[in-house]
Structure 1
Amino acid sequence: MTSWHLAPEAFDTTDATGLRRDYYDEVASRYWKRPATSKEIDQGLADDGAELLTPPTGQFVVGRFDGEAAAGGGLLMLDSERAELTRIYVRPDFRGKKGADLLLELLESEARLLGASRMVLNTRLDLVEARALYVRHGYREIPAYCTGLYIEIWYGKDLGQVN
């Protein structure tokens, strides 16, 4: 029997770091329309704020499929009521196995534990799979709450609503 196990984990463990590197590699490579180099990935992860993905300012979660690190994501508390989803990633070999759904559900639960009543996120228009995941989980387009070079669309969800 194959199964998922998801749990909070420090952002800098070997598995969490590997997932964060793979996430950055994929999103940067898609944006640049060429493979990211190891040096570019290192630069992208340097001072990326991942140290805030630990209580009380946030949380990082690792999902394992049959014991193998397969998914990861974080949340960052923006203020006393809003948490931001960040670095949501499922390795390609594990997509289509419901890991992304479980990851979002656990991160929403962790956000509630940290006091959040609303989850927000920002992403790019070309990340259509991620956008479809968010909409499927009840996220709706909202006005911009931040700016940045790679930000093109914003979503939000009240954490009390039912999917």
Structure 2
Amino acid sequence: MPRTPAAPAWAVAPEPFHSPVAAALWRAYYTEVSDRWYLLHEGRITDPEELEREVAADTGEYLAPPGGVLLVARYGGKPVGTAGVRLMDSATAELKRVFLLKEARGRGGAALLVTAAEDAARALGAGRIVLDTRGDLVEARALYSRLGYEESEPYNDHAYAEHWFTKKL
């Protein structure tokens, strides 16, 4: 009987925050969330010069060991998503940059990434994980709620943060 090829599989592994893979996914993430905000509020996409400034301004070095980690999800071997964790203090980690390319969505990768990030936070010694997000990112808020995150009081004053979540690990 002929064998059918195996379905593409998910894999999640740490990636240096400054690698070309991480840089490409960060650019895709920032472009999508920035364009979404500008389209909603100003009816336009992000100005290319602003995009370059903002991408360059947030290098992600806080996602480097020993206090952080950047995870990259691959689907069928192709890098398609990220999730980062950084320690805020000895007991609290922050979830950052949860993102999947559009073509990888709807296949369970987002939950896999968040679960891997929670495991990474535990490995860093955290007993709690927090995150912030915007109101228009309704898919993200639904994901976090589905995974047991609860809305909480603000823990930062970031300009675009409108919802804060926490979860005991």
- Map of 2:34 onto structure 1: 28
Post-superposition CA distance 1:62-115 (Å, at most 9, x none): 001001111111111110000001111000000001110110011000000111
Unaligned runs of 5+ in 2: 1-6
Match of 1:148 among 153, 158, 164: 158
1:21 aligns to what SS in structure 2? Answer: helix
2:57 aligns to what SS in structure 1? Answer: coil
Q: CA deviation at 1:49?
A: 5.0
Q: In the alignment, residue 28 of structure 1 is paired with which amino acid?
A: S
State how 1:1-163 maps to structure 2 within 5 Å: 1-33=7-39, 34-48=44-58, 50-159=60-169
Unaligned runs of 5+ in 1: none
Q: How many residues align?
A: 159
Q: In the alignment, residue 136 of structure 1 is paired with which amino acid?
A: R
Q: In the alignment, residue 23 of structure 2 is paired with which amino acid?
A: T
Q: CA deviation at 1:2?
A: 1.2
- Map of 2:3 onto structure 1: none
Whole-angstrom CA distance in 1 between matches of 2:10 and 2:87: 26
Whole-angstrom CA distance in 2 between matches of 1:38 and 1:2: 34
Bigger drift between 38-47 and 51-60 goes to 38-47
Whole-angstrom CA distance in 2 between matches of 1:152 and 1:49: 23
Whole-angstrom CA distance in 1 between matches of 2:105 and 2:48: 24
Q: TM-score, normalised by structure 1?
A: 0.94
Q: CA deviation at 1:56?
A: 1.5
Whole-angstrom CA distance in 1 between matches of 2:46 and 2:67: 30
Post-superposition CA distance 1:25-61 (Å, at most 9, x none): 0110011113224432221122325111011221100
Q: In the alignment, residue 138 of structure 1 is paired with which amino acid?
A: G
Runs of 4+ more than 6 Å apart? none
Whole-angstrom CA distance in 2 between matches of 1:67 and 1:35: 31
